[in-house]
Structure 1
Amino acid sequence: MEVQDIATKTVVIPGKALQTLIERRVSGTVSVYDPVDDSVFWQLYLGGGKLHFATSGMGKPERLDYLLGQLFPSTQFPISDTLSRDYDYICQIWKMGKFSLQQVRQVLFFITQEAVSQFLALPRAAVKFERTLGLDPLLLSLSLRQIVRPLQDTIRSWVQLRSDISSPFQRLYLGDFDQITSQSWLHMQNYELVANMLESLNQKMTLYELSRSMGKTTTELGGILQPFIQAGGIQVLPYEAIASPPKPLIACIDDSKATQRIVKMTLEASGLEVIGVTDPAQALSTFVHKRPELILMDINMPEIDGYELCRMFSQSNLLKNIPVIMLTGRDGLLDRIRARMIGASDYIAKPFDPQDLIQLVQSYIQNATPQSKL
């Protein structure tokens, strides 16, 4: 296998491809696409002969909810339906003091193990390698042996399940109920469990979601349901059979790349899409083509400051109804009054607490008329 940036997918044996990349100590991201359901793919982050993290390339909310439920069954974590970066989400919980460093590494290790088990259960798959920036902060650096050794039983279980359930992302739904009842005398205990799942099966949940609701691992529940799938009582759909809701788009106008990076990491970990604009002169034309639901804007910028740009937005028929939150190092009453007079909806002082930013942004996304602090 050539180690290079591969724009197109190359079909390989995933385990051998991963071994080759690690032996050659390359740094980048490996994406592996499920050959049965091409809406499902896995991503592995490599660097210097080590595995730094592995996760799914999609479906992060339901997967993360399941995995955190396995580790912390009595704790509920607020996970947005539009979560896009599980690594950042876990790091955010750590920075908020809800996880210790040991716990955050435990969670990231568990997420990585589960993804690698899916990866290695694939007999052949389309793989794409890209040289990308490393994770920040970098909290894991694992040898392949550290990851794979405890996973042998799980990998074998998924190899056996794959003929009927290609991944935990597949959606299961009620098929021919008569075929379920016909299996009752063969699998009486499991039949009772399936009978209790009928309402959930009608909702076409993923195996992750079903396993979470039933308090079982995906391999346990998959093994229980497999005979009913083979009999036609339960049907299987690809993951993308139910479209994901679009992510709210947040714009950040700030000439500071550091601020842009913090805002992007914080909000994308909460399931929002962020578009960054470092040149305020380009903001109007950018938003005409890609209209955000909310704008975060620095006050102190060269050429056009935040006050002037906010005034321009308020005069635009296309943009005047978009809430604008000012990012400011100033926290005086006069600044608030001035921001309010030129059309700003709210403000947050820099440096800000990431959780405060999330709560403020969510209040405008979820509520058309939140209580402004201006």
Structure 2
Amino acid sequence: MNIHGVVSTEKLAKLIQACVSEHFTGRLSVENTHFLQSWTLYFYQGCLIWAASSVHPIRRFCRQMSLHCPELSIHTAIEWGSDTVDLDYIFLAKLVKQGKIQWKQMAAVIEGQITEILFDLLQQSELQSRSIIPLTYRRIPESTIDSTTKNSSLVLVATEYCWLQAKQAWEAWRQAGLRDYSPNLAPAIRHAKQLQLLIPAVAYRNLISLADGNWTLRDLAVKLKQNLLPLTQSIIPYIHQGLIGLIEVEDIKESFQLKLAASNVSQPHLQASTSPLVASIDDSKNDRLMISRILTQAGYRFINVEDPVKALLILLKHKPDLIFLDLIMPVVNGYEICSQIRRTSVFKDTPVIILTNNDGIVDRVRAKVVCASGFLAKPIKAEKVLKIVQKHLPTTKPVQSQGLQMQTLNPKLVNLNSQSCLTELL
């Protein structure tokens, strides 16, 4: 039987408690359908046995393995099987069976995985109360979990214990004024020279090598062997001053991570967070891919918006420096979207470039009426795209990426104050 509903913080607590009381076997899935995010808790007779999330699944697993199984690289761990490995409960059970990790290490990885995801669920369920997009849930009993347990012994994690750990961590995070900022964000230095004047040389060298937009706050806490909250609080003053930004990063590419472990080389530097972010709102897949290829090769950061109805919400989330906007789209056209953009104060000075097949006088007049910044006639050509971007973003130069095309999004500044303990932490 499927049970559907909207999730609040109180509802989430009741759902988990009901799974415990009923000795539930199955999965509890929570979804944010707008941003295509999901979190799943797996139960066996009321105990948690695993948790999964669409947010950074490989990054999270590698982090937990590094924390609890430091003697084992991920590359070494997959030698038992094929090149494609599901980093999940059964994978860990096989490592135990082969003697590569101990049972208590498997339990620690599972507990860490569950606690992180419960923390994220608590944060999301609280934040959604201020959003027009609710979280929804499904509780799905599954006999397949019973059949899975016949093949290996289960690590049963006390649900109440993990819930308490996650709740205490979330309360501390919220009371520190970090409610709106996910530990899955990555710090990235925006003004290195100014930062260098404010902190000791040793701390600066460590920070410049780590806060490069590649590693989330959680990743850094594990790398530095520090607690997440005080580590985050130590850089908050510099985030408040705009010297460091918090940006969204994609998950680690599994094959890339495995190669790193095999060769023991450092990760290439990703595109710098100071590189301008360009957005394209276009229902044409070919046009989106063309602009994306042109701009990313030139070193710009880039996001695609396929659904024009959701365009404004996505733009508000990422705050691009320049927007390409297709004129002819279903449901709502480019002029209407441009009017919406201009009515939003944060975008009053953001360049908006209309993409069109018809470069006629009527379209140009209408574009001026809705305060578009310019026109780009199709078919799309690299020299035209780059010329118009450089015209409207003349004071910033993109930094060329060094071989790894991983999207990073616009920095979100944290407007908070805290006493710095950066020197002690780093």
> Given residue 233 of structure 1, which amino acid in structure 2 is its aligned partner?
L
Instruction: Report what 1:165 is aligned to.
Output: 181
Alignment map for 1:21-32 (pairs within 5 Å): 21-32=19-30
Deviation, 1:124, is: 4.7
> Given residue 114 of structure 1, which amino acid in structure 2 is its aligned partner?
E
| Conserved? CA contact 1:164–1:226, under 8 Å | no
Identity across matched positions, percent: 17
Decide whether aligned partners of structure 1 residues 219 and 90 sit closer, same or farther in structure 2, where only a CA change above 3 A counts.
farther
Instruction: Report what 1:69 is aligned to.
Output: 66
For residues 225 and 233 of structure 1, what CA distance do their matches in structure 2 show? 10
Q: Tell whether 2:228 aligns with 1:218.
A: yes
> Given residue 28 of structure 1, which amino acid in structure 2 is its aligned partner?
G
Q: Tell whether 2:251 aligns with 1:236.
A: no
Report Cα offsets for 1:317-367 as digits up to 9, x if no partner: xxxxxxxxxxxxxxxxxxxxxxxxxxxxxxxxxxxxxxxxxxxxxxxxxxx
SS across alignment from 1:235? strand
Instruction: Report what 1:43 is aligned to.
Output: 40
For residues 233 and 209 of structure 1, what CA distance do their matches in structure 2 show? 20
Instruction: Report what 1:87 is aligned to.
Output: 89
For residues 232 and 193 of structure 1, what CA distance do their matches in structure 2 show? 18
| Matching residue within 172, 175, 178 for 2:190 | 175
| Conserved? CA contact 1:105–1:139, under 8 Å | no
SS across alignment from 2:112? helix
Decide whether aligned partners of structure 1 residues 44 and 128 sit closer, same or farther in structure 2, where only a CA change above 3 A counts.
same
Alignment map for 1:97-112 (pairs within 5 Å): 97-112=99-114
Deviation, 1:45, is: 0.8
> Given residue 244 of structure 2, which amino acid in structure 1 is its aligned partner?
I
| Conserved? CA contact 2:92–2:106, under 8 Å | yes
Deviation, 1:38, is: 4.1
Deviation, 1:234, is: 1.7
| Conserved? CA contact 2:127–2:180, under 8 Å | no
| Matching residue within 4, 8, 14 for 1:12 | 8
| Conserved? CA contact 1:164–1:230, under 8 Å | no
Q: Tell whether 2:138 aligns with 1:129.
A: yes
Any stretches of 5+ residues in structure 2 without a counterpart? Answer: 129-134, 257-426
For residues 255 and 67 of structure 2, what CA distance do their matches in structure 1 show? 28
SS across alignment from 1:129? strand
Alignment map for 1:228-307 (pairs within 5 Å): 228-240=238-250, 244=253
For residues 71 and 42 of structure 2, what CA distance do their matches in structure 1 show? 30
Decide whether aligned partners of structure 1 residues 195 and 163 sit closer, same or farther in structure 2, where only a CA change above 3 A counts.
farther
Report Cα offsets for 1:30-87 as digits up to 9, x if no partner: 234579x946543211233332222433423322222233224455443789764332
> Given residue 49 of structure 2, which amino acid in structure 1 is its aligned partner?
H
Q: How many residues align?
A: 235
For residues 68 and 109 of structure 2, what CA distance do their matches in structure 1 show? 8
For residues 34 and 194 of structure 1, what CA distance do their matches in structure 2 show? 38
| Conserved? CA contact 2:69–2:105, under 8 Å | no
For residues 223 and 52 of structure 1, what CA distance do their matches in structure 2 show? 32
| Conserved? CA contact 1:117–1:151, under 8 Å | yes
For residues 232 and 155 of structure 2, what CA distance do their matches in structure 1 show? 30
| Conserved? CA contact 1:170–1:239, under 8 Å | yes
Deviation, 1:130, is: 4.4
> Given residue 237 of structure 1, which amino acid in structure 2 is its aligned partner?
I
| Conserved? CA contact 1:24–1:49, under 8 Å | yes
Instruction: Report what 2:391 is aligned to.
Output: none
SS across alignment from 2:215? coil
SS across alignment from 1:208? helix
For residues 55 and 108 of structure 1, what CA distance do their matches in structure 2 show? 10
For residues 158 and 89 of structure 2, what CA distance do their matches in structure 1 show? 19
> Given residue 107 of structure 2, which amino acid in structure 1 is its aligned partner?
R
Decide whether aligned partners of structure 1 residues 34 and 68 sit closer, same or farther in structure 2, where only a CA change above 3 A counts.
farther
SS across alignment from 2:211? helix
| Conserved? CA contact 2:56–2:252, under 8 Å | no
For residues 246 and 95 of structure 1, what CA distance do their matches in structure 2 show? 24
Deviation, 1:226, is: 2.5
Instruction: Report what 1:209 is aligned to.
Output: 219
Q: RMSD across aligned C-alpha pairs, in angstroms? A: 3.8
